Amino acid sequence: MKNRFGSGLVCAFQVFFSIFLYGQTNKEPADVIVTGGTVVTMDGPRSVYNDGAVVVRGDTIVAVGPRAELESKYEGRQTINAKNKLVLPGFINGHTHVPMTLFRGLRDDVTLNDWLYKYIFPAEAKNVNEDFVRWGTRHLRVCGFIASRVAATAVREIRRIRGLHPHGSAEGLPP
């Protein structure tokens, strides 16, 4: 009787262990999986996945595609449900006038109209060429410096505009 009980226990253990192992998958690890949203890509054919997913490992997007396909292949430490949302690539501000930073400080404390028409436009006409733009974009792209200057200028302008606004404030703008 003892022998049958022991062999039954071993058999039950083997069945349980087999089921447990069968349930385990060999999914690739990921840090974050954004699932279920409409994923808009910037790949060659500009693919859009209505029920898509984006898989991220570290600071790298490792896969983009249909949700079911990627969920079967990857296991994420964190999953973000993007159902009924758009998942978009990061936007890049391509309208920064980076080469014009070479004219920064050319003239201060004048109206925008005077600054543009009396100083900037004439300086551009005289100086801007392919080398000027190349030099301005390649050598003055110290992002932290430019971003902080742009942000500081924007805040100053918002505050200035608020002071000039006919109703005393520009609704929706930060203080």
CA distances, 53 to each of 28, 44, 57, 81 (Å):
15, 18, 13, 9
Q: Look at residue 166 in the predicted model and tell me its pLDDT.
A: 45
Give the separation between CA 1 and CA 135, rounded to whole angstroms: 90
* pLDDT at residue 82, rounded to an integer: 93
pLDDT tens string 100-119: 667 777 888 888 889 888 98
* pTM attached to this predicted model: 0.44
- Tell me the pLDDT tens digit for each residue of 48-86: 999 999 999 998 899 999 999 999 999 999 999 999 999
Tokens for 135, please give them: 């030099």
Between 161 and 81, the higher pLDDT residue: 81
Q: Residue 129: pLDDT band by 50, 70, 90 thresholds?
A: confident
Domain boundaries in the chain?
28-87, 98-164
Distance of alpha carbon 74 from alpha carbon 70, whole angstroms? 6
Residue with more model confidence, 161 or 58? 58
Q: How far, in Å, CA of 162 to CA of 4, rounded?
A: 88
User: Looking at the predicted structure, is the pLDDT value of residue 174 above 50?
Assistant: no
- The CATH class of the 28-87 domain is mainly beta
